[in-house]
Chain A
Amino acid sequence: MQTEKIIIDDIKQILKEVGKIDGEISPESDIYSELGVESVNSISILLALEENFSIAIDDNQFIQARSLSKLIELVRDSK
């Protein structure tokens, strides 16, 4: 079982690498409108999360999860 810290670190890493976020990722910031993730990268983030955590994420729930804290919740609930 992955610890909470590993989950958070992995999601942050995916947002940085795949979502191309440069700076600090505050938990409640909107990753698209506030942290500058381009919508064209949304699918890649979803697929990276699924692969990294070996889970299946619901498409619609993913698009509603627009912050780090919501993504953590989503990954946790999808396990």
Chain B
Amino acid sequence: MTKFEIQFSEKLPDDICKEIAKRACYCDVQIVSSAFDKPSKSLIIEIEKPELLESVKVKVNQLVDKMKSERLVVQPKVIKDRIRQDNSYHPNVYKMLCENGDIFKEGTGVIAKGGEFLNLLMTFDAFFEKLGILQYQAKPRTYSTLVPSDWLKRAGYFTSFAHSLTFAFHLVEDLEKLDAFAERHSDNQDLKLESIDEIATPEFCLSPAVCYHAYGALEGVKFDESDNGLKVFTAQGSCFRYESKNITDLDRLWEFSMREIIFVGEKEKVIASRKESMDIIWRLIEILDLTASIETASDPFFSTEFKSLRFFQLANELKYELNLFVSEEKSIAAASFNYHENFFGANFSISNTDGSEVHTGCAAFGLERLVYAVYAQIGYKKAMKRLQIASEELLGERA
């Protein structure tokens, strides 16, 4: 094991340095960890084999060159923030949940859930689903876990988020290759693929977000008068984003649950719905009494696209994230409120009654992260009690 360091320029903002550190582990399979060291303003990379240090260094430097930008340094903006009076935190939620059996680690970034953790997650999910239905007359949907690769291609996912993709592979229909595969594993061998030719080009990926399904399902649709300028859907699904060495206990999983409320239609109505949903969720945060903030944010774009897209997204305030603290120093993004302009309307040929391309937006909730932060801050019992109060105030439900 050996380490090397890449010094960032003093002018490079810390949030860009952190983003580079998160992407650096995708540069080479030898990288064991990558971290931004704030005091020395440097990227610290740890690799497995010292003899490969130089070749890994070249790759990481290439990535840094592509992502660093001392121009276009729009900073994330705090829209709202609050601190609870008793700002103490549970020291190790993950360990506690594993020990009491509520969480079971199946593998890296993959967990099974049960007990109170699952109950709280489902209660939050039901709250968001009802919010969609009662506030926006959202149509409930269930979407498949597999998403057509073609939809992700058209959504720009292959170019912007290649590092996060998870494919649904199967072996190619070929007797010789199938027999060879089975033979290779006849002695209870570990899974081994000998060549890319053994697998078929994947028609499907594992879904990285729920809303792509809504846009795909609306392909070619022209709204009519009965839509009143806005269609709203809500769905919950398993989402998959490969996080490489960034995977951590509960805040960065490979597979996680996402509830979305998806707005499709006229620009003003989509923007107003996104804003309203954000205000309602902030009221929920106040009722739960959580230390939190809402800030402008950008998606985890990769490599060459990072500079432009981050700049464009932040400057146009296309994404807001709800950050919940899990300790005094660390917060995690547990929800986002997104506006995509007419990007999906154009790429999926969805049009308003006047023929113009629809605009889209969504409120997306990362349920494991949300529940994790709630456990870290207030625990199960307070959360369940306050969620009931929130349901009465925000959804008009009686206990």
Is B284 positioned at the interface, with any CB of A under 8 Å from its CB?
A: no
CB contacts between A and B, total, < 8 Å: 40
- Complex CA distance for A11 and B96, rounded to whole angstroms: 60
CB-CB under 8 A from B385, the residues of chain A are: none
Is A63 positioned at the interface, with any CB of B under 8 Å from its CB?
A: yes
**A59 & B309 in contact (Cβ 8 Å cutoff):** no
Complex partner residue of B311 from A32, A36, A63, CB under 8 angstroms: A63
Is B71 positioned at the interface, with any CB of A under 8 Å from its CB?
A: yes
Is B12 positioned at the interface, with any CB of A under 8 Å from its CB?
A: no
CB-CB under 8 A from A46, the residues of chain B are: 71-72
The number of residues on chain A lying at the interface, defined by a beta carbon within 8 Å of a beta carbon of chain B, is 14
Is A43 positioned at the interface, with any CB of B under 8 Å from its CB?
A: yes
For residues 25 through 70 of chain A, which have their beta carbon under 8 Å from a beta carbon of chain B? Answer: 32-33, 36, 39-44, 46, 59-60, 63-64
- Complex CA distance for A17 and B314, rounded to whole angstroms: 25
- Complex CA distance for A33 and B307, rounded to whole angstroms: 20
Complex partner residue of A59 from B311, B313, B316, B341, CB under 8 angstroms: B311
CB-CB under 8 A from A33, the residues of chain B are: 341-342
CB-CB under 8 A from A36, the residues of chain B are: 346
B332 nearest CB across to chain A (Å): 26
Is B92 positioned at the interface, with any CB of A under 8 Å from its CB?
A: no
CB-CB under 8 A from B341, the residues of chain A are: 32-33
CB-CB under 8 A from A39, the residues of chain B are: 308-309, 312-313
The number of residues on chain B lying at the interface, defined by a beta carbon within 8 Å of a beta carbon of chain A, is 18
Is B110 positioned at the interface, with any CB of A under 8 Å from its CB?
A: no
B81 nearest CB across to chain A (Å): 22
**B316 & A63 in contact (Cβ 8 Å cutoff):** yes
**Chain B contact residues: helix, strand, loop or mixed:** helix
CB-CB under 8 A from B312, the residues of chain A are: 39-40, 42, 63
Is B58 positioned at the interface, with any CB of A under 8 Å from its CB?
A: no
**B305 & A43 in contact (Cβ 8 Å cutoff):** no
Q: A41, A43, A59: which has the most chain B beta carbons within 10 Å?
A: A43
Q: Which residue of B lies closest to A60 (CB)?
A: B315
B11 nearest CB across to chain A (Å): 14
Is B73 positioned at the interface, with any CB of A under 8 Å from its CB?
A: yes
CB-CB under 8 A from B74, the residues of chain A are: 59-60, 63
B158 nearest CB across to chain A (Å): 13
Complex partner residue of B315 from A40, A41, A63, CB under 8 angstroms: A63
Residues of A within 8 A of B (CB): 32-33, 36, 39-44, 46, 59-60, 63-64
Q: List 20 A-B contacts (CB under 8 A).
A: A32-B341, A33-B342, A39-B309, A39-B312, A39-B313, A40-B308, A40-B312, A41-B308, A42-B308, A42-B311, A43-B307, A43-B311, A46-B71, A46-B72, A59-B72, A59-B73, A59-B315, A60-B74, A60-B315, A63-B316
Listed from nearest, the 10 A-B pairs whose CB atoms lie closest are: A63-B315, A39-B312, A43-B308, A40-B308, A33-B342, A33-B341, A42-B312, A59-B72, A40-B305, A42-B308
